[in-house]
Amino acid sequence: MEQRKSEPRKSAADKKLVIGWFSFTCSEDSTILLTELLNDHLDEWKKVVEFRYLKALKTKNSLDGLDVAFIEGAISSETQANEVKKIRNNAKYVVAIGACACTGMPSASRNAFVGEQINEKIKWYMSHFDYSAKVKKLEEIIKVDDKVDGCPMNVPAFLEILNKYLKIFKIA
Amino acid sequence: MHSGEITIDNITKIEGTAGLKVTIENDRVKDLKFIIKDYRRFYTEAVKGKPYIAASSFLSRICGTCSVAHLFASLEAIEKSQGIVISEQTKLLRRLAYNGLMIRDHALHLYFFVLPDVLGVDSIIDIPDNHDDIGHILLHDSFDIKKIGTAITEVIIGAAIHAPLPTVGGFLKLPDPSQFPDLISRLENIRSQVIRGIKTFFDYKESLIRNSDYLCLRNGKSYDFIEGDIINSTGKRVAEDKFHDFLKSVVIPYSEAEGYVFSDEHEDYLVGSLARVNFNKDLLNSRTRKDIQEYLTVFPSNNVHHNNLAQAIEILQCVDDAIDILKTLKIIEEKPVRKPPQAGVGVGVVEAPRGILYHMAKVNAKGMIEDYDVIVPTAQNQISIEDDLKKYFNENLSKDENTLRLEAEKIIRAYDPCMSCATNFLKIEWIRK
């Protein structure tokens, strides 16, 4: 009798939280802080988290099927706005990370420029690249489910949010 | 490959992103553009009109990973504009904190970004959880090294990122040595792990040799990231406040960051650890020199990949320098040096982890910022990056595309470019004709 091979089924215990980490206009201080958190948490997180998009650390990245997208930075252009909309469409939840994503500032400082502050050099950059008229916080572009404020992000708040989603997806 | 095009999006494992577009025609690189495409935040414009006392903290937000470098360069510029002379204690504490910055920042680049190339894996996430595996051992070394760098900055200046305690003229709150009784022993214990890293990057045999100029600070007394004149390989010596006069700004129309030319004798120049170790290895801490003699023999080097080894050596330098400072550190209560505001211009030049960082502050009589300028190392290095890549591609077009992409990324990564300072999007677009 022919034996049929079957794919090993993933049990609930094998399920990992599929996350993406994205940076837009900012100093990327929260990304640096994330790399700091890995000093103590990488071994533990590898068991329960799949880093499906983390450009700072991986070459092979994908937007597909994200449980949670963590998005750092303000939105400076239509190109960036389209990118975050695409991320939103691929993620069940979106968390704004850090002050620039949550409030726009300080990356949105140029929104307050008046008169001579918008000098020839700034005009040159604005006209040669695809800047939006205003820098926007994340929730002006897409729905945001949670926020971790701070410059850089508040670490206890980030850990609390991560644990919240691990529980929502019944992991750990 | 004779002619054609290829596109790679998102060069990874660098701080931020940028772009590269290569056009190949008849087995030669016809055109190559390293495209810095960050959306500028115009902080040097936004800081105008702010009181000088608030400027440095704001400007530290230019960058996440090297915020301490921006903070200290800005403080130096503003203090000089005001004729403020800081105490020897403030100088020493800033030097100690800077060692912490260098240890953490270099370890992040070397172990989180470059080590996967050394091991032949995609990411640190792919390193096996096997305690006997050298990758696992090195990765866990990096955790310990980064943590001690962070610990130094936290106890001396309040945080590793956007530190709150340094201010114009000194410190808002002085560190309390009773809060870090074990720092010296922790630093002593980390030395063997740091030396294991130096050996790893010494054994990493990537090579791209070219005849660039090199620029860095040198003060003749010690291996210093904060004080000194700018020197180059043809013997020029330029005071910090004259540095800008020697730079020729180059507008790169496809890039959001300007490039710079320093000397007519070389077509480009490079800043960073390679320049520093090339010129200042005689000034390294005596204990550092003694313990890594064999690895120092490769310097001076024209191999850009040796920037990785130079960074690994600088980690040990900073560990040993921090130990020396902590052994004799006695904190005396003192207030920040302050004077009534005066109109003036000041320049602060420091060695950020990836090279010379220039801040210029012009302050008016009311103590408000009237003009401000910043030149970051990655902007200075971008012409050299392009020239390195042109050389690499021209000499290796017979290789398959995947190899070319990977090697191009390694070359860019060797510079440890900081796109938060200078760029935000990198894709390689190769056009064959």
- Model confidence pLDDT, tens digit, residues B155-164: 999 999 999 9
Q: Is residue B403 part of a domain?
A: yes
CB under 8 Å, gap of 24 or more: what pairs does B386-393 form? B386/B32, B386/B33, B386/B34, B387/B210, B387/B212, B387/B267, B387/B268, B388/B208, B388/B210, B388/B304, B389/B20, B389/B22, B389/B32, B389/B34, B390/B29, B390/B32, B391/B208, B391/B210, B392/B208, B393/B22, B393/B24, B393/B29, B393/B32
CB contact under 8 A, A60 and B124: no
Q: Is the pLDDT of residue B289 over 80?
A: yes
- pLDDT by residue (tens digit) across B54-86? 999 999 999 889 999 999 999 999 999 999 999
- The arithmetic mean of pLDDT across residues B375-379, rounded, is 89
Q: Give the pair of three-digit tokens for residue B214.
A: 């090199």
Opening angle at CA B78, ends B73 and B81, nearest 5: 130
Q: Mean pLDDT of all residues in chain B?
A: 90
Q: What is the pLDDT of residue B253?
A: 58
DSSP string, A96-127: EEHHHHHH-TTGGGGGG--GGGS-HHHHHHHH
Q: Is the pLDDT of residue B359 over 90?
A: yes
Q: For the sheet containing B19-25, what is the strand order?
A: B6-9, B427-432, B19-25, B28-35
- For B226, other C-beta atoms within 10 Å of its C-beta total 18
- Element at B230 (helix H, strand E): strand B229-232
Q: What is the pLDDT of residue B220?
A: 87
Closest CA to B396 of B384, B381, B411: B411
Chain A's closest residue to B16, CA to CA, is: A56
- pLDDT by residue (tens digit) across A84-117? 999 999 999 999 999 999 999 998 888 888 887 7
Q: How far is A122 from chain B (nearest CA, A)?
A: 8
Give dist(CA B166, CA A25) in Å, integer.
Answer: 26
Q: Is residue B220 part of a domain?
A: no
According to the annotation, is B66 in a ligand binding site?
yes
Opening angle at CA B343, ends B59 and B262, nearest 5: 55
- Indicate whether B199 and B85 sit together in one domain: yes
Q: What are the beta bridge partners of residue A94? A: A69
Closest CA to B118 of B130, B135, B103: B135
Q: Is the pLDDT of residue A37 over 70?
A: yes
- The arithmetic mean of pLDDT across residues A41-67, rounded, is 94
CATH code of B111's domain = 1.10.645.10
| Strand bridging mode A66-72 / A17-23 | parallel
Lowest mean per-residue pLDDT among A124-128, B16-20, B72-76, B346-350: B16-20
Interchain CB contact of B235 with A (< 8 Å): no
Q: What is the pLDDT of residue B256?
A: 59
* Structural domain span for residue B58: 43-206+327-345
Q: What is the pLDDT of residue B425?
A: 27
Give dist(CA B184, CA B154) in Å, integer.
Answer: 15
Q: Is the pLDDT of residue B330 over 80?
A: yes
Instruction: Name the more confident of B225 and A116.
Output: B225
Give dist(CA A25, CA A9) in Å, integer.
Answer: 41
Q: How far is B88 from chain A (nearest CA, A)?
A: 30
Give dist(CA B277, CA B279) in Å, integer.
Answer: 5
Which of helix, strand or coil describes residue B287? helix
Cβ atoms of residues B234 and B265 within 8 Å: yes
Q: What is the pLDDT of residue A12?
A: 56
Q: What are the beta bridge partners of residue B351? A: B356
Q: Give the pair of three-digit tokens for residue B117.
A: 């190339």
**CATH architecture of structural domain A15-107+116-168:** 3-Layer(aba) Sandwich (3.40)
Lowest mean per-residue pLDDT among B98-112, B234-248, B278-292: B234-248
Q: Buried b vs exposed e over B130-140: b needs ≥16 C-beta within 10 Å?
A: eeeeebbbbbb
Phi, psi of A18 (to 5 degrees): -90, 115
CB contact under 8 A, B39 and A131: yes
Q: Is residue B96 part of a domain?
A: yes
Cβ atoms of residues B8 and B427 within 8 Å: yes
- pLDDT by residue (tens digit) across B92-122? 999 999 999 999 999 999 999 999 999 999 9
Q: For the sheet containing B344-352, what is the strand order?
A: B344-352, B355-363, B369-375
pLDDT above 90 coverage of chain B, percent: 70
Residue A41 DSSP class:
H
Residues of chain B with C-beta less than 8 angstroms from the C-beta of A125: 40, 256
Chain A's closest residue to B253, CA to CA, is: A128
Residues of chain B with C-beta less than 8 angstroms from the C-beta of A106: 41, 43, 46, 58, 61
Which of B39, B48, B104 lies closest to A77 in CB terms?
Answer: B39
Lowest mean per-residue pLDDT among B225-229, B367-371, B426-430: B426-430
- Indicate whether B67 and B159 sit together in one domain: yes
Q: Is the pLDDT of residue B286 over 70?
A: yes
Q: Is residue B254 part of a domain?
A: no
Q: Is residue B185 part of a domain?
A: yes
CB contact under 8 A, B108 and A152: no
> Residue ranges of the alpha helices (H) in B215-347?
243-246, 273-280, 286-291, 293-296, 306-328
Q: Is the pLDDT of residue B143 over 70?
A: yes
Phi, psi of B273 (to 5 degrees): -60, -40
Q: What is the pLDDT of residue B382?
A: 87
- For B255, other C-beta atoms within 10 Å of its C-beta total 24
Domain residues of chain A, as ranges?
A: 15-107+116-168
Q: Is the pLDDT of residue A75 over 90?
A: yes
Which of A28, A58, A107 lies closest to B16 in CB terms?
Answer: A28
CB contact under 8 A, A61 and B122: no
Cβ atoms of residues B202 and B316 within 8 Å: no
Q: What is the pLDDT of residue A69?
A: 98
- The arithmetic mean of pLDDT across residues B305-330, rounded, is 97
Q: Is residue B64 part of a domain?
A: yes
pLDDT category of residue B420 using cuts at 50, 70 and 90: low
- With a CB cutoff of 8 Å and minimum separation 6, the contacts of B314 are B102, B106, B273, B276, B277
Interchain CB contact of B388 with A (< 8 Å): no
CB contact under 8 A, A117 and B45: yes
- pLDDT by residue (tens digit) across B17-61? 677 888 888 888 888 888 776 678 888 889 999 999 999 999 999
Chain A's closest residue to B9, CA to CA, is: A59
How many domains, in total, are found in chain B?
2
Chain A's closest residue to B256, CA to CA, is: A125
Sign of torsion, CA B77 B78 B79 B81?
positive
According to the annotation, is B63 in a ligand binding site?
yes
Chain B's closest residue to A151, CA to CA, is: B162
- Indicate whether B63 and B128 sit together in one domain: yes
> In A36-99, which ranges are E strands?
49-54, 66-72, 75-77, 91-97
Q: What is the pLDDT of residue B317?
A: 98
- Indicate whether B20 and B125 sit together in one domain: no
Lowest mean per-residue pLDDT among B209-218, B259-268, B340-349, B386-395: B259-268
CB contact under 8 A, A152 and B38: no
Q: What is the pLDDT of residue A134?
A: 92
Q: What is the pLDDT of residue A77?
A: 93
Cβ atoms of residues B84 and B359 within 8 Å: no
Q: Is residue B188 part of a domain?
A: yes
- Indicate whether B108 and B30 sit together in one domain: no
- Indicate whether B24 and B151 sit together in one domain: no
pLDDT category of residue A2 using cuts at 50, 70 and 90: very low
Q: Is residue B97 part of a domain?
A: yes
Opening angle at CA B12, ends B357 and A108, nearest 5: 55
Q: What is the pLDDT of residue B402?
A: 85
- Indicate whether B129 and B20 sit together in one domain: no
DSSP string, B19-75: EEEEEEETTEEEEEEEE-------HHHHTTTSBHHHHHHHHGGG-STTHHHHHHHHH
- Element at A44 (helix H, strand E): helix A29-48
Residues in chain A: 172
Q: Which of B 85-114 lie inside 8 A of A, CB atoms? A: 104, 108, 112-113
Interface probe with B: pick from A16, A26, A27, A155, most Cβ of B within 10 Å: A27
Q: What is the pLDDT of residue B392?
A: 94
